Chains A and B, each alone.
Chain A
Amino acid sequence: MMAEEFSLSFLMELERDKILEVLYRDQVVQKAEDDRIRKLKMQLHQLRWKGVKNVNESQERSCARCQQSLGWMLNRGAVCEGCSHRVCSGCRIYLNIYIWKCTVCYAHREVKIKTGDWFFEERAKKFSLSGKYETTGTKLLTSYQKMSNISVVPPTPPPFAEAASEGNSMDLSKSKGFTKSVENLFFSLTTHMKKISKSQDDVTAPRFHLTADYGQHAEWRKERRSQSDTAIDIANRITNAPNLLNLIKKTKGTEECEDSSSKQEEDFNFTSNTIFSGRRKYGSICSINSTCTEADNYDKTNVTGEIELAIMYNFKTSTLEICIKACTNLAYGEEKKKKCNPYVKTYLLPDKSPQSKLKTAVKKNTVNPSFLETLKYKIHCSQLVTRMLQISVWHSGTLKRKVFLGEVLIPFESWDFGDNSLQSFNCYQLKTKVIIAPQNRACMV
């Protein structure tokens, strides 16, 4: 069988450098390929969603793809052999005169071709592979990294002229600690990826269910919750004033609580939303599930003003740095009292776990706060393209109440970190909260 461990240890230093240069070039190619594959899969995913929505909505006979209703005699539709869904004649693509596939199955086939999945599947028959897109180059780099940790002499920087002279995002050769930094990069790539994906699974997936089913499956929900420690942590961490009040009220009796709920909301200026009211109705579980208390305050204030910030990526330390300079002309957090204690908070979406959250200090009594703070995320640059930076401004009120003052979303999909103009300070208009539709969210997760 094939040796799983690759090693560059037998090579002389010059040879090693030469090969490393090739490996780094390969990484560039591979990154572009990974990007492309991810986009293709995303498109397929979206196409699937269209059909699924339809199945959910109605029981009547309709085409699983275009949702057009099907008749019993005419335009009856036919079952696609690929997916067993009934589709109308318009949603079939003929591979030859006899064989057809529905649009989704056809797209699935196309994606298999374009991503090279056909090959990976074939190959898996012979080699059971853990990461199917993992390349030999990646493995070699990892083994090299391990090796150079052991050796006392630090490796010399490889001649990286090719990539660097192109002025592309890998403009690393100028830095002295190049090799080291790239090693770190690849090391953090693997460890980080594991960590991040894990936290995402733990947090987003259960929450999705917690808030979605309105407590109708409390049994199942409990089970689910116990599986995920992180979810509990988050729920327990939140001790906002409204919750405490809810809890106190509840000891007096749920009946009373429900009766007075509308009045209470007015008193405290709460904005009720589906989640909130849903939680109240099913009082027994509401206190633990309240992961979304701040959501209540979203549309309370109008959003004005701008935020000035700079975003740069430090390849040496593989850190995303967001320098928050200032905000101008913010809305008042408490309009009547003309009070505003703003601070800035960021998430690296889709990760909404606490690890992804960063905050600046709170500035007192100003609508033109100057922060001059740099928030840092340690993340590999190849991971960034799937992320979106959410920068929101909040008012920190009394009783730890937070009021939303606006936000900016910056997707990194087409962000060029080699472009210096993007790295300087820019003003961004603050926007109201964008609620991401569930299907988009599913794609992002």
Chain B
Amino acid sequence: MASATDSRYGQKESADQNFDYMFKILIIGNSSVGKTSFLFRYADDSFTPAFVSTVGIDFKVKTIYRNDKRIKLQIWDTAGQERYRTITTAYYRGAMGFILMYDITNEESFNAVQDWSTQIKTYSWDNAQVLLVGNKCDMEDERVVSSERGRQLADHLGFEFFEASAKDNINVKQTFERLVDVICEKMSESLDTADPAVTGVKQGPQLTDQQAPPHQDCAC
């Protein structure tokens, strides 16, 4: 299976060009459902129980090795709070995939999923790939949203579904890897249905026009 490369976040990784392609992923959902924790667990393999509200937006970079390709992920963590909405939605159109997250111990966050889904439809491209994630599945005692309801909603919206825990590191890596896979599928789909005439034909004659014998540079 896929093995993640060393992914300690740093400037070096940000500027690294040793990868095959880059995907941009956005994590969205109500405030305090655990978006930041989820990202920290995946990118840094760390967890802090303290809640620190994200200001606007943040991101982390992680390069993974999947399907014989090095894929650089720029994962955007968004603030759940309403007041940052103009900034966060601005990032929707740059994202190829989304992780829509709710908290299984918080009914309200689950009820908001439909709204978040509408946001994606409005602000993102038409083939945006979305995974629905019910976070905090370690807190079984406080669960208010059953797995079944989560799955049903995901089916209804046409998303894939995971329950996960950033705290206990359950399904975190799997979620991201699945999202990468579905983006890859979408990619091949879009390439194979693309108009085959985009290559060569138009460029050919133009380039021929430009072909000229070597001439001295102007050095005035």
Query: Looking at the complex, which one of A85, A109, A122 makes contact with B127 (CB distance below 8 Å)?
Result: A122
Q: Are A48 and B220 in contact (CB under 8 A)?
A: no
Closest Cβ–Cβ distance, residue A4 to chain B (whole Å): 10
Quick one: given A15-B56, A22-B58, A83-B204, are A275 and B11 in contact (CB under 8 Å)?
Answer: no
Interface residues of B in 188-208 (CB under 8 A from A): 190-191, 194, 196-201, 203-204, 207-208
Closest Cβ–Cβ distance, residue A350 to chain B (whole Å): 10
Residue of chain A at shortest CB distance from B58: A22
* A52-65 contact mask (Cβ, 8 Å, vs B): 1 or 0: 11011000000000
- CA A386 – CA B220 in complex, angstroms? 23
Closest Cβ–Cβ distance, residue A235 to chain B (whole Å): 10
- Verify if B213 is at the interface (C-beta below 8 Å from A): yes
- CA A33 – CA B73 in complex, angstroms? 12
Q: Are B56 and A19 in contact (CB under 8 A)?
A: yes
Quick one: given A6-B90, A112-B191, A126-B125, are A238 and B57 in contact (CB under 8 Å)?
Answer: no
Q: Are A438 and B210 in contact (CB under 8 A)?
A: yes
Contacts of B57 in A (CB 8 A): 19, 22
Q: Are A18 and B55 in contact (CB under 8 A)?
A: yes
Count A/B pairs, Cβ under 8 Å: 193
- Verify if B49 is at the interface (C-beta below 8 Å from A): no
- Verify if B96 is at the interface (C-beta below 8 Å from A): yes
Contacts of B123 in A (CB 8 A): 2
Interface residues of B in 46-102 (CB under 8 A from A): 55-59, 61, 74, 83, 86-87, 89-91, 93-94, 96
- Verify if B148 is at the interface (C-beta below 8 Å from A): no
Q: Are B212 and A207 in contact (CB under 8 A)?
A: no
Interface residues of B in 8-39 (CB under 8 A from A): 10-12, 14-17, 20-23
- Verify if B2 is at the interface (C-beta below 8 Å from A): no
Q: How many residues of A contact B (CB 8 A)?
A: 90
Closest Cβ–Cβ distance, residue B163 to chain A (whole Å): 29
- CA A342 – CA B63 in complex, angstroms? 52
- Verify if B216 is at the interface (C-beta below 8 Å from A): yes
Interface residues of A in 114-163 (CB under 8 A from B): 114-116, 118-119, 121-123, 125-127, 135-136, 139-140, 162-163
Quick one: given A2-B123, A295-B217, A438-B211, are A28 and B191 in contact (CB under 8 Å)?
Answer: no
- Verify if A252 is at the interface (C-beta below 8 Å from B): no
Interface of B is mostly: mixed
Q: Are A32 and B86 in contact (CB under 8 A)?
A: no
Quick one: given A83-B201, A83-B204, A122-B190, are A28 and B11 in contact (CB under 8 Å)?
Answer: yes
- Verify if B139 is at the interface (C-beta below 8 Å from A): no
- Verify if A29 is at the interface (C-beta below 8 Å from B): yes
- Verify if A166 is at the interface (C-beta below 8 Å from B): yes
Q: Are A22 and B215 in contact (CB under 8 A)?
A: no
- Verify if A212 is at the interface (C-beta below 8 Å from B): yes
- CA A116 – CA B186 in complex, angstroms? 12
Residue of chain B at shortest CB distance from A115: B21
Closest Cβ–Cβ distance, residue A124 to chain B (whole Å): 9
Interface residues of A in 248-285 (CB under 8 A from B): 273-275
- Verify if B219 is at the interface (C-beta below 8 Å from A): yes
Q: Are A113 and B187 in contact (CB under 8 A)?
A: yes
Contacts of A213 in B (CB 8 A): 212
- Verify if A335 is at the interface (C-beta below 8 Å from B): no
Among A68-76, A194-202, A286-294, A419-427, the stretch that binds chain B is A286-294
Contacts of A394 in B (CB 8 A): 219
Closest Cβ–Cβ distance, residue A330 to chain B (whole Å): 17
Q: Are B22 and A118 in contact (CB under 8 A)?
A: no
Query: Looking at the complex, which one of A28, A48, A104 makes contact with B15 (CB distance below 8 Å)?
Result: A28
Interface of A is mostly: helix
- CA A357 – CA B123 in complex, angstroms? 46
Contacts of A10 in B (CB 8 A): 83, 86
Contacts of A49 in B (CB 8 A): 207
Residue of chain B at shortest CB distance from A4: B90
- CA A51 – CA B215 in complex, angstroms? 22
Residue of chain B at shortest CB distance from A102: B200
Closest Cβ–Cβ distance, residue B135 to chain A (whole Å): 23
- CA A10 – CA B86 in complex, angstroms? 10
Q: Are B217 and A352 in contact (CB under 8 A)?
A: yes
Closest Cβ–Cβ distance, residue B29 to chain A (whole Å): 19
Query: Looking at the complex, which one of B55, B208, B213 makes contact with A52 (CB distance below 8 Å)?
Result: B208
Given A32-B16, A433-B217, 15 more pairs with CB closer than 8 A: A25-B59, A56-B208, A108-B198, A112-B191, A114-B20, A122-B125, A122-B127, A211-B215, A212-B212, A274-B213, A274-B215, A275-B216, A291-B218, A394-B219, A404-B219
Contact surface of B with A, Cβ cutoff 8 Å: 10-12, 14-17, 20-23, 55-59, 61, 74, 83, 86-87, 89-91, 93-94, 96, 122-123, 125-127, 187, 190-191, 194, 196-201, 203-204, 207-208, 210-220
Would you list 21 pairs from A and B whose C-beta atoms are within 8 A, ordered by A residue? Answer: A2-B89, A6-B86, A28-B14, A32-B17, A55-B208, A81-B196, A82-B196, A108-B198, A108-B200, A109-B191, A116-B23, A116-B96, A127-B125, A140-B87, A207-B218, A208-B212, A238-B220, A275-B215, A295-B217, A295-B218, A433-B217
Contact surface of A with B, Cβ cutoff 8 Å: 2-3, 6-8, 10-11, 15, 18-19, 22, 25-26, 28-29, 31-33, 35-36, 48-49, 51-53, 55-56, 80-85, 104-105, 108-109, 112-116, 118-119, 121-123, 125-127, 135-136, 139-140, 162-163, 166, 168, 207-209, 211-213, 234, 237-238, 273-275, 291-295, 298, 345, 352, 357, 392, 394, 402, 404, 433, 435-439, 442
